[in-house]
Chain A
Amino acid sequence: MPSGLDDKSLRLFRVWPSGLSVEPFQIDYPFGPSAGYRILTLFSRNTPPGDVDYKLHTAEFVLEEGTAGDFGDNLNSQFLRIEHFSVPARGEEFWSPGNRYVGVKLCNGGVPTQQSQIVFDGLQVYFSLVPRPELNAPINYCGAATSILHQRAWRGGAPETLAPVLFRPHPPEKRWGQLTHIDMAAFPWERRPYQLESMLGQPGEEPEYKLVWSNTGSLRATIALKSSRLQVRYVGKPFFQPNEKALTCHLYRIISVYPNKEFYTEQLILRPDEQVGAGKDRISLSFRAYYCSYIDYPEGMPVTVARLENIPDYFSVWRSFAEQHRGYAFASEMHVRDLRLTGSHMRWRLERGHEHKCIHLFPFHGYSEGGFDPFHEIGHAWYEWLFKPLLSIPANRYVVS
């Protein structure tokens, strides 16, 4: 489809037996507006269940092409918002692609200004794009969610999910989902070790992320973070081309929130700058990602880890006290390995994959909310979003009428 077509010049229809209905959609450019790569997001409501092997389609959509500015009536969701921080503590809704940002906040539940206002389910997640937002910051915060406000828990008195105990000063270590390393393995027939790259750098040489995409659409709020440059040695011989090449790559983290959902999704892609030959394809690189988090709880606080070794794609860590259960959960398409809990520290890594799709969930159950099951929510989210999600298959790639 021509790269010039965007959400202002396209219209999406759902095909029903009785006719067509216009549906909201949005287009995102996760590698930046000029990279020529787009993701179209749509919501398929009332979709009949299909076969588990996807052999039959159950819903059909058609895109109509207009000229620039013909359409564009995709209203933004009232619940979604992105704030961009050029300096700490001063966020702006407007995003300028060339600007340097120190942080970005995603909100998906409306933002009450007083505790007495109606609260819709959702989160406010602040990501630090730089290692030291303040000069004297004792921790490297690069790429970490440094604050996660949970709107339902906030109504119950505990907004900060990463440090929910009142009367305890917030420790500087608190953060969630920070990528500390990635590693790339050589092909099985090569005699060289895997290449480990720190995403946090060394003291004095700490990298930061660049915000290359930010869009609050009708269906989700999406940002894309681009890491600093990584040099990867690729050896294709004797089976693949190029024989040997030093690739300049960037890790892209595409992070989205959806209206009123108490999770955010993340997709990790290691993308070389160079194209292969004259085509637009790039070498697809597999890698493992290492995560680290710190959730502040005192020693002695009961902890439950929900993890099935025969389905190692997800886990959740629950902190329960006085009939209030706070969960910290993660699911991925790849297997999650090496989950380690030491006090408030959590570490885990993903197995090798080319495009890691992940979900970070923060479930909360308060007093008298029955049916608490430490496995259910994360298992359900993993199944619905990662294991057996709705798949869209292009029927006709591009037809000019």
Chain B
Amino acid sequence: MAAFYKDVFYHRLKISEAFLKEHQAVIREKLEFAAAEFNRVHGNLFAINMCLHAASSIILSNPTYLSDTLNLLRHKPGLEKKDPTTVLTVIALYCLIQWDSSRAVSEKATAPTKGEQVRAQDYQAKLDILRHGFDAINWVIGKDAMESLGLD
């Protein structure tokens, strides 16, 4: 059985693989830039805002099931006191990082040149910076909410 957050993102909100592929270049550009911001002095707030904006844009570009999904989160035990738009955005961000990370893994495995292999590896390292950055602030929503969603 898929983790709750994955179910929300892929099955409730119905974000398709095709949609993510269509916008993969912009997604990567935003995540890559946010990772660079995390390393800059006083840049972490910009990085967090940039990630939240990219993730919320994914949601708001697919608004058909938005209100149903927000209602689901509103009534999910452990999340009642959380802002459902923030919870949903964190889910989207977590899934985006996961999705682009596995894309980077397969890029590295199939890269025809050493240079492209290194680039894919560098990008994986940047995604790790993002993960660690958000881990440090318990993904904005707090530890309990993370557990309710099934986030590691």
Contacts and interface: CB of A to CB of B under 8 A. Distances in A.
A301 B46 contact: no
A297 B45 CA distance: 24
Please classify how large the interface on chain B is, using the bins under 10, 10 to 19, 20 to 34, 35 or more.
20 to 34
Contacts of A324: 49, 52-53, 56
A302 interface: yes
A301 B60 contact: yes
A322 B63 contact: no
A189 interface: no
Nearest to A298: B63
Interface string B48-90: 1110111111111101001100000000000000010110111
Nearest to A322: B89
Given A167-B23, A168-B61, A321 B140 contact: no
A367 B57 contact: no
B48 to A, nearest CB: 5
Contacts of A246: none
Contacts of B60: 165, 168, 297-298, 301, 321
Given A166-B26, A300-B67, A367-B45, A321 B89 contact: yes
A156 interface: yes
Nearest to A365: B49
B61 A298 contact: yes
A41 interface: no
Nearest to B66: A300
B36 interface: yes
Contacts of A368: 45, 48
Please classify how large the interface on chain A is, using the bins under 10, 10 to 19, 20 to 34, 35 or more.
20 to 34
B63 A299 contact: yes
A201 interface: no
A166 B89 contact: no
A321 B60 CA distance: 9
B1 to A, nearest CB: 27
B85 A155 contact: no
Contact of A165 (B19, B33, B61): B61
B40 to A, nearest CB: 8
Contacts of B59: 321
A156 B83 CA distance: 20
5 contacts: A155-B46, A156-B53, A157-B34, A300-B66, A324-B49
Interface of B: 19, 23, 26, 30, 33-34, 36, 40, 45-46, 48-50, 52-61, 63, 66-67, 83, 85-86, 88-90, 140
Given A166-B53, A321-B59, A324-B49, 14 more contacts: A157-B33, A157-B34, A157-B53, A166-B58, A166-B61, A167-B23, A168-B57, A168-B61, A300-B66, A321-B56, A322-B85, A323-B83, A367-B52, A368-B45
